[in-house]
A and B are shown apart, each in its own frame.
Chain A
Amino acid sequence: MIEAVLAQASIFKKIVEALKELISETNIDFSEAGISLQAMDSSHIALCNLLLRDDGFKSYRCDRALTLGVNLNSLSKLLKCAGNDDEMRIFANDDSGADQLNFSFESANSERVSEFSLKLMDIDADSVDIPDMDYQAIIDMSSSEFSRIIRDLSSVGEAVSIDATKQGVKFSSAGDAGKGSILLKHQKSVDGDSALATSIEINEPVSHSLALKFLSSFAKAAPLTDRVSIHMTEDVPVMFEFKISEIGHIRFYLAPQIDD
């Protein structure tokens, strides 16, 4: 038996919206420690990693570790049936091999309870070992600013160059019709820091050129949290982390560009 209760369905709705553009089907792992998933896009260029810790749930029970395969598009449609402020219960019975994942949504005044279930699927997916890494530069910035920059530069080109130095981070793109850039200056964190402030921890300047198509998908996680951190080292995958308050994170990894 697994049973996880989230105080607000909206968090889970936002998580699925953040993942479903990049990944259509995924295995979800339930363990004593919480719920997690790791999945690559079909081209193996990008990877997402979700962690929801057991102590972030209102209640959490997992008698035996289970891996359940879901179609994220179907899950997204199902979650549209939940009110944002509904309490959400996810449960599955593994007595005879779980073949469905069950959801119940209870309104804040407890006067409405709805129940839905999602058919599970067998998914044969590769998983990868992600080593712990020290990055040369970590940019911590507003997630809404990140979304805006990705949107703005997508109107100019197909790739963005991210150049981090001690002074700031510059996002730039160029295309057939022209070019554009946005510079965010490093701000020392001080009391009363604006939510839009950008800070950069850096050992040496780092530059990456990345396809905007993937970054647009990652930006779908912005509604989950105010901040995003971009972790960069030359010639290794870039990691974008969106922390989900009190409960976990979504991390996206994107392979660096290579000369074709």
Chain B
Amino acid sequence: KPAQGRLDAFFKTS
């Protein structure tokens, strides 16, 4: 079942 991903995988945390 697909799940919503996390933004950390796309945007660099600063």
CB of B4 to closest CB in A, whole Å: 5
CB of A44 to closest CB in B, whole Å: 5
A214 within 8 A of B: yes
CB of B6 to closest CB in A, whole Å: 5
- With the chains together, A256 CA to B3 CA distance in Å? 9
* Contact (Cβ within 8 A) B14 A47: no
Residues on the A chain within 8 Å of B14, using CB: 126-129
**Cβ-neighbour of A257 out of B3, B7, B8, B13 (below 8 A):** B3
* Contact (Cβ within 8 A) A237 B7: yes
* Contact (Cβ within 8 A) B13 A128: yes
Residues on the A chain within 8 Å of B8, using CB: 44, 128
- With the chains together, A214 CA to B3 CA distance in Å? 13
- With the chains together, A46 CA to B8 CA distance in Å? 10
* Contact (Cβ within 8 A) B12 A129: yes
Residues on the A chain within 8 Å of B4, using CB: 43, 45, 210-211, 214, 254-258
- With the chains together, A126 CA to B6 CA distance in Å? 14
**Cβ-neighbour of A260 out of B1, B6, B9, B11 (below 8 A):** B1
Q: How many residues of A contact B (CB 8 A)?
A: 27
Nearest residue (CB) in A for B2 is A257
* Contact (Cβ within 8 A) A45 B5: yes
Secondary structure call for the B interface: mixed
Mark A194-234 against chain B: 1 for CB-CB distance below 8 A, else 0. 00000000000000011100100000000000000000000
Most A C-beta atoms less than 10 A away, residue of B2, B4, B12: B4
Nearest residue (CB) in B for A45 is B4
CB of A39 to closest CB in B, whole Å: 11
* Contact (Cβ within 8 A) A130 B11: yes
- With the chains together, A201 CA to B14 CA distance in Å? 32
* Contact (Cβ within 8 A) B5 A257: yes
* Contact (Cβ within 8 A) A260 B3: yes
| Known contacts A127-B13, A128-B14: A258-B5 contact under CB 8 Å | yes
* Contact (Cβ within 8 A) B12 A128: yes
Residues on the A chain within 8 Å of B11, using CB: 47, 128-131, 237, 253
Instruction: Tell me the B residues contacting A by CB distance below 8 Å.
Output: 1-14
- Add 8 more A-B contacts to A128-B11, A211-B4, A257-B4 (CB < 8 A): A43-B6, A44-B8, A237-B7, A255-B7, A256-B5, A257-B3, A258-B4, A259-B3
17 example contacts (A-B, Cβ-Cβ < 8 A) are as follows A40-B7, A43-B4, A44-B8, A126-B14, A128-B7, A131-B11, A159-B2, A210-B4, A214-B4, A255-B4, A255-B6, A255-B7, A258-B2, A258-B4, A258-B5, A259-B2, A259-B3
